[in-house]
Amino acid sequence: MNMPSISKTPFGLGFVNKKPPSPSVGGSKVPSTAPVGSYFKNGHLFNKQGQRINAAGQRVDSSGRAINDKGRLINDKGQLINAQGKLINDKGHLIDNQGRLVNGTGRLVNADGHLIDRDGKLVNRDGVLVDKVGRPLDKDGKIARDKTSAVKGNNEAHEQLLPPSITQQMIDWKNKIPKPVSPPKMTIAEATARMMDAEKMIKSGVIPSSPSAAQVARDAAISAGITGVVSAPINIAAYAGSTAASEQIKAAYVPQPMIPPTPSAKSSIDRPDTPQSPDLTRLYPRMNDAQVTAFTVANQSMALKYGDTQSGFVPNQNWSKDPLERMTQLEELLDFAEEHTKEVADVREVFFKPHLANDPAAAGMEGLEARLGTIEKRISKLSQAQANVLQNLSQSTGSE
């Protein structure tokens, strides 16, 4: 029998090792960290209540993973975790050490899973403040018209928010990859065909019809600041099959076309020439076409979301004759179209990311062509997304 050693102390003889050895059963030593009364059975450690535990005294499941009293996985600090060992809350959502919701990469998110900054504001993957559609915002909280005017949120530090030097390396690498081909411009014939497809789906019940809700959405947009438009009856179906369809649609959506100057006629509006004045003879016809397709995609977004093809936006007497003011009105109209198209695209699981220019357009008439080019690209993205939504609806109907 082993006896503790005895040594001489200032107070006389005493034991050097006062703690008795840990109990053992069947050759297995019970850890000193285990609760009093713990024992081994069949190679596993149990507490005195007969519950299987680990060396730290935590209850464990049949696989030896620590669990709480409700049988949920926990870490060594008693915090809830998932099967991968990441922190979660009572609802099973990933959280960080401060209890804030995060995604799989550790980025802060809201209850809907959207990325947010420390202030709870929506951001994109790059940490830029965005609206509910995902469009970057400027310093005034308005939709940014180019990437340089977009502002960052109050972001938590994260590896995805890379330093500029690394970001530039990634940009240089991406630039070696051929850029995707931009979707072709939507023709008026295609616009009419899509509205007809939407109307067929509305009549068959594939797209639920709620004209009153569409009217409320249009009225809200006008109240919020869209200028120069009015909600009025439209009849796209009447144009189908007509040889004059293009002219009828143009008359509805461009009652006052931009007219370039000619030797014998003045332009729609007189503006002083500058050294960098754009070629209005070339740009004004493009503006007129862009106006037709901008109104088309705006009204198509209402058809897809609310099943309304009987009414829509058309220009009113306040639709500007000034090219720069008209550009602003078209930009606001596309803001509306993007918002509602995004909602429909998300429901149908169709990818849609609105176009955003890389650089700001020059001020005044010098920037007219750049702004028009951006509008055309925004329309192309909208057109493609709406076509994909219609295709998705058609396929889902055919599979039922």
| DSSP string covering 159-201 | TTS--HHHHHHHHHHHHTSPPPPPPPPPPHHHHHHHHHHHHHH
12 is a domain residue? no
Its domain, for residue 268, covers 188-399
44 is a domain residue? no
**Residues 259 and 379 placed together within one structural domain of the fold:** yes
**Residues 174 and 289 placed together within one structural domain of the fold:** no
389: tokens are 């939504």
Q: How many domains does the chain have?
A: 2
Q: Helices (H) and strands (E) in the chain — how many of each? A: 7, 8
**Residues 133 and 243 placed together within one structural domain of the fold:** no
**Residues 258 and 352 placed together within one structural domain of the fold:** yes
Which residues of the chain are modeled with pLDDT < 70? 1-28, 159, 162-184, 236-246, 263-276, 398-400
Which of these, 88, 113, 290, 41, lies nearest to 187 by C-alpha position?
Answer: 290
**Residues 174 and 275 placed together within one structural domain of the fold:** no
The pLDDT, as a whole number, for residue 141 is 95
**Residues 137 and 258 placed together within one structural domain of the fold:** no
97 is a domain residue? yes
37, 47 contact by CB (below 8 A): yes
Q: Which residues lie below 8 Å from residue 334, measured CB to CB, with a gap of 6+?
A: 294, 297, 298, 375, 378, 379, 382
**Residues 140 and 253 placed together within one structural domain of the fold:** no
Q: Which residues pair with 102 in a beta bridge?
A: 108
67 is a domain residue? no
Q: Tens digit of pLDDT for each residue in 274-288?
A: 556 788 999 999 999
Distance from C-alpha of 282 to C-alpha of 265, rounded to nearest angstrom: 16
298 is a domain residue? yes
Q: How many CB atoms lie within 10 A of CB 221?
A: 21
300 is a domain residue? yes
226, 232 contact by CB (below 8 A): no
Element (H, E) at 12: strand 12-15
Cite the DSSP H helix spans in 272-364: 280-306, 323-347
**Residues 246 and 149 placed together within one structural domain of the fold:** no
Q: Tens digit of pLDDT for each residue in 130-142?
A: 999 999 999 999 9
Distance from C-alpha of 90 to C-alpha of 107, rounded to nearest angstrom: 19
159 is a domain residue? yes
Distance from C-alpha of 43 to C-alpha of 60, rounded to nearest angstrom: 14
Q: Tens digit of pLDDT for each residue in 21-42?
A: 445 444 568 888 888 989 998 8
